[in-house]
Every structure is written in structure tokens, then in C-alpha cells.
Amino acid sequence: MGYKTLTLKLPPDYSQAELLARVARAEGLRDFTVQLVHQSLDARKKSTVHWLVQVSVFSPELAGEAPPAAAPLPIPSRTRREKALVVGSGPAGFFAALVLQKAGFATTLIERGAEVGKRESGIQAFERNGVFDPLGNYAFGEGGAGTFSDGKLTSRTKNISQEKTFILESYIRAGAPPEIQYLAHPHLGSDNLKVMVANLRAEFIGLAGTMLFETMLTDLQVEKGRVVAALLERGGGQELLEADEYVIAPGHSAHETYRMLMARGVAFRPKNFAIGCRVEHPQAIINLAQWGRETLPGVKAAEYRLTSRGDGRLPVYTFCMCPGGMVVPATAYADYNIVNGMSLYRRDGGFANAACVAGVSLNQLLGREVSALESLDWLAGLERSFYDYGGDYRAPCCSIADFIQGKAMPGAAARTQSSYPLGLNPAPLWELLPAAVSGTMREGLKEFCRKVKGFETGLIMGLESKTSAPIQVLREDDGRCCGFENLYLAGEGSGYAGGIISSGTSGIKAALRIAGD
């Protein structure tokens, strides 16, 4: 059987039959099979938007041998007596627990929030009545914050091919579309993710793993640099759980977990992060700007990724763009007000949204050295101030044009349609953000308006403060927390990862280090 790789230009709505016909014509083949390797949309020329499709062709009529299959993730599986406790069921925590269980550990995975069905009910009730549910919200619960997101699977992390393949194959078994293996910018959609996290839970439990919901880590017992037990709050009571190895994957929002870890001697340092707002447009405006038309058969919805030097001091960029999605109230705690974005797999909603943020150093912003604890306090104060502005979970909002001008038209935002479920509150957003952030965002937005036609007509709303953690754990070369024999922090909460693939990889690497000891 011979082998060859081809790259083809195909129309946006190409069919499988058209793909096969193009391969047959290009190579003069009759007997062959194809496998999609990579597919990306080329929209540089609006008159000829097309897919670039790379395929592997297998045929007895071809010369050449196919490359060897990639090696699977090397999980050292054997019979063990050790127990492992993993905290947090987001991608980092879940994949750490899955690998540890496959490696032979008796693994318990705990999650402070509810299982996905109950979590979704809590979110729906919150969006109807504005009463926050600490067990069912966009930040905490089964699958972590990523369950209710666009589910992007891109990552800039290098040398993670085995971990990434393990994650993608796990997701496909759990119900993800197989296209995530070859699309240049794959995404899952929240509707798929809600099904997938439940199926992944079933896989983990089927391997004899233990998963506990509505179970919060409140303290650690530490003796001479070794964690000997975890204090858990569950069902209104407290219990101790002993383990040999501990992986904590708290996400970037669990501030009380951070504080507890600091109190137990885990060292953190402040790091640069980003804050800003969400921008939202009718999806048709973005489609028209990117494609030159409002719809494009074969493509769900247009995306954008924008960067600017802002005022030259702070970078400004868009992040976590959700085509055809919605802006959601993503606070982790009652009486705080932040926003985020999510979308469904079909990306067929009427609006497009993205974070528009400025990268900040608190040391630079405040003009002094700050500690990790001060970073948490500062960020919590900013999130609380956005709630205090209106005294509720409405999103403070203005038009992008008004933000740039620093002058709002009274009531304009209130008369504007939006996907945000809890309503908008017209506000001078540039005054609610730190002055340095507002100033650099203003310059960045001006540049974005030049790059994307119609960008100035959109809305800018709420506080986007969860692009990454504001602090970073100090760890040894092998990933352990400095000064600890058996404690690892993984995922976004460690300050070293961001996004589903990067976080999942972080959890896998921690588990493999433990299993290899």
C-alpha cells in the first residue's frame, strides 16, 4: 500500500464526493482511501474564500510508505497500593485523575460544584431570577469553567503531541466530533461539552475511580513538607481524606483555595495577567467584514483575532472569541460581577463576542511591589466594584464608539439588543476600569475599528478578568510545589497553563510525574 500527502484548495461547502474526485484527478487514481490531516480556512481574499485541506492518500497505485503511527501516551500501569486525591474536575484535574487511575492508583476526584445536570439547572435559575447559586454557576462545577464556553482546542504550547492526542481521543470517545483532530481551529461548543463531561465521568468511574461532587477542599494537614490528609466539606459536614499524592487543579477563580494554600506554606508570586471587557456585535457584521458577505455556506461563523500595542505601554488584544455565541454572567461568587463568553457547537446565534483586554503588571500599575495575596485582593476588589456600580448582575455597558470618545449617550446601551441574559446597565466603563487600562484599551479599540469594518458599532460591556490567573505557584523542576514532597498544582490555577488543551496537558504531566516515581 503506497502513501502520499496532498494539499488541496476546496470551496467552503465542499462535499466528501468532491474531495475524492479532486484526489482522483490530481493523482490519476482509481483505488484509494483518504484521511483528513489538516483543514484551515483561507479568507485573505474575500472574493475567493476557500479551505486548504491536507489529506493522506493510501493506494496500491502509489509508491512510498506511510509514516509510522505516533506512539501513545506512556502511562506506566501497574498494581499499586497508593492513593491519589485530585481536586477540581476541569480539564487539568480530570485528566490528572484519569491518568492516575489508569496508572493503578486508587484515585478520588473531588469537585466543589455540582454535576453537570444540576449545575446547568443552577445557571438557568440564576439567569432567570438573578439569584447566584454557589454550586451551579459558570465558574465551578463538573468540567470546570470550560464546560460552559466555546470549547476551543487550540494551544500554543510546544512538544505536547502525545498529551494532546490523548485528550482529543478521550473527547472523541466521549462524543466530540472527529473533526477536532484535523481542523486548524477546532471547538466543541457548550452543548457537546455538557454531554462529554458526563461521559468522561462514566469512563473514570468505570475504571474504579471515585468522583465526589459538592465536596470542597478546605484545608490540608502538612507534616515536614508532606501533605498527609485533606480536610473536606461535604454534605454540611467535614471529613478527612488521606492520600499518598495530591494534585490540586483549582482553576483561576478559587481564591479561597489559593489563600488556604498560602496559609499552609505553598509559595506563590504575582504574575502579569489581563483585564478589560467583552465586546459584542451582530454576527452578520463580523461575517461581512471578514468574508465580504453575511453568510458563507460551509462555514459556521466568522472569527477574528486582534492585537494592538495600545498606548505603547500595555498590549491590547482580543481573547476567547465566541462566534455566534453569547455573553454570560461568569462570577464565581455572589455580589461580584464579571462576564465571559460561550457558544454552542453550531455557532448559529445572532451575536459574536470576544474579550477585549489589556495585559497588566500590578507592580507597574500600582507603582510598587505587590505580593501574591495583594494581587488576589486587588482583583477581588475590582470585581466587587462592578457589582456595586449597579447593585446587581446587570452588565455595565456602553457603545465601543462612546468608550473611544470617553462620552456616553444616556440610555443608548439600554436600547441596544444583546445576548447577555441579565440585562445591561449603561455606564462609563472607562471610569470603572483603572485609568491606565482604559487609556490603552481606547487606543487598541481605535486600531481594531480600522482593521474590522463596523467594529465601532458594537457594544462593550462588563468586566473580563479571567483570562488567566493573577498569581503563579513556585514549583520544582519536576512540577512539585516548592518545599513539598507530594503536592502538585495543575492547570490554570497553577499560573502556568491556559485553555482546555494546555490545562489538560498540565494535569497529565503532573500525573505522569507521580506515576513515574
Give yes or no: residues 218 and 283 share one domain.
no
DSSP string, 263-274: HTT--EEE--EE
Q: Indicate whether this model's pTM tops 0.85.
A: yes
Domain CATH number, residue 162: 3.50.50.60
Whether 353 is covered by a domain: the verdict is yes
User: Edge-to-edge, what's the strand order for the sheet holding 487-489?
Assistant: 210-212, 106-110, 83-87, 245-248, 487-489
- Report how far residue 394's alpha carbon sits from residue 98's, in angstroms, rounded to the nearest whole number: 39
Give yes or no: residues 261 and 297 share one domain.
no
Whether 42 is covered by a domain: the verdict is yes
- Report how far residue 244's alpha carbon sits from residue 235's, in angstroms, rounded to the nearest whole number: 24
Phi and psi, residue 398, nearest 5°:
-155, 175
Give yes or no: residues 399 and 280 share one domain.
yes
Give yes or no: residues 219 and 328 share one domain.
no
Give yes or no: residues 105 and 131 share one domain.
yes
Give yes or no: residues 103 and 213 share one domain.
yes
Q: How many domains does the chain have?
A: 3
Give yes or no: residues 460 and 329 share one domain.
yes
Whether 111 is covered by a domain: the verdict is yes
Report the pLDDT value the prediction gives residue 96, as an integer from 0 to 100. Answer: 98
Sign of CA dihedral 84, 89, 92, 96: positive
Q: Where are the alpha helices (DSSP H) in 189-338?
A: 190-206, 255-263, 283-291
Nine-digit cell string for 496: 502556568
Dump strand ranges (E) for 207-331. Answer: 210-212, 215-223, 226-234, 237-241, 245-248, 268-270, 273-282, 307-308, 316-322, 326-329
Q: Of 11, 43, 59, which one is at a domain's C-terminal end? A: 59
Give yes or no: residues 276 and 404 share one domain.
yes
Q: Where are the alpha helices (DSSP H) in 243-354?
A: 255-263, 283-291
Neighbours of 307 (CB within 10 A): 13
Residue 128 buriedness (CB in 10 A; 0-12 / 13-18 / 19+): exposed
DSSP string, 125-148: HHHHH----SSSSSSSSTT-GGGG
Give yes or no: residues 331 and 408 share one domain.
yes
Whether 69 is covered by a domain: the verdict is no
Give yes or no: residues 453 and 486 share one domain.
no
Question: Is residue 331 a contact partner of residue 338, using CB atoms and an 8 Å limit?
Answer: yes
Nine-digit cell string for 356: 477585549
Give yes or no: residues 110 and 173 share one domain.
yes
Whether 74 is covered by a domain: the verdict is no
- Report how far residue 38's alpha carbon sits from residue 328's, in angstroms, rounded to the nearest whole number: 32
Place of cell 499560573: 495
Helix/strand/coil percent split, the chain, to 5 = 35, 25, 40
Which domain, by its residues, includes 187? Answer: 83-267+473-516
Report the pLDDT value the prediction gives residue 407, as an integer from 0 to 100. Answer: 85
C-alpha 242, offset from chain centre: 31
- Report how far residue 90's alpha carbon sits from residue 491's, in angstroms, rounded to the nearest whole number: 8
- Report how far residue 208's alpha carbon sits from residue 244's, in angstroms, rounded to the nearest whole number: 18
Report the pLDDT value the prediction gives residue 411, as an integer from 0 to 100. Answer: 56
Please tell me whether residue 227 adopts helix, strand or coil conformation.
Answer: strand
Q: Residue 320 has what DSSP assignment?
A: E
Residue 331 buriedness (CB in 10 A; 0-12 / 13-18 / 19+): buried
Could you state, in chain order, the average pLDDT of each consecutive group of 10 residues for the chain (517 residues)? Answer: 95 96 95 96 94 96 89 94 98 98 98 97 96 95 96 88 96 97 96 98 98 98 97 95 98 95 97 97 97 95 93 89 98 97 97 97 95 97 98 96 85 71 95 96 96 96 95 95 97 94 97 93
Give yes or no: residues 196 and 321 share one domain.
no
Nine-digit cell string for 287: 461575517
CB proximity list for 300: less than 8 A, separation 6 or greater? 323, 324, 346, 347, 348
Whether 203 is covered by a domain: the verdict is yes
Domain CATH number, residue 44: 3.30.1660
Whether 449 is covered by a domain: the verdict is yes
- Report how far residue 42's alpha carbon sits from residue 53's, in angstroms, rounded to the nearest whole number: 10
Report the pLDDT value the prediction gives residue 156, as an integer from 0 to 100. Answer: 81
Question: Which contacts qualify for 372-377: CB closer than 8 Å, 24 or more apart?
Answer: 372/258, 372/262, 372/268, 372/269, 372/270, 372/471, 373/259, 373/262, 374/270, 375/270, 375/470, 375/471, 376/255, 376/258, 376/259, 376/470, 376/471
Whether 72 is covered by a domain: the verdict is no
Residue 446 buriedness (CB in 10 A; 0-12 / 13-18 / 19+): middle
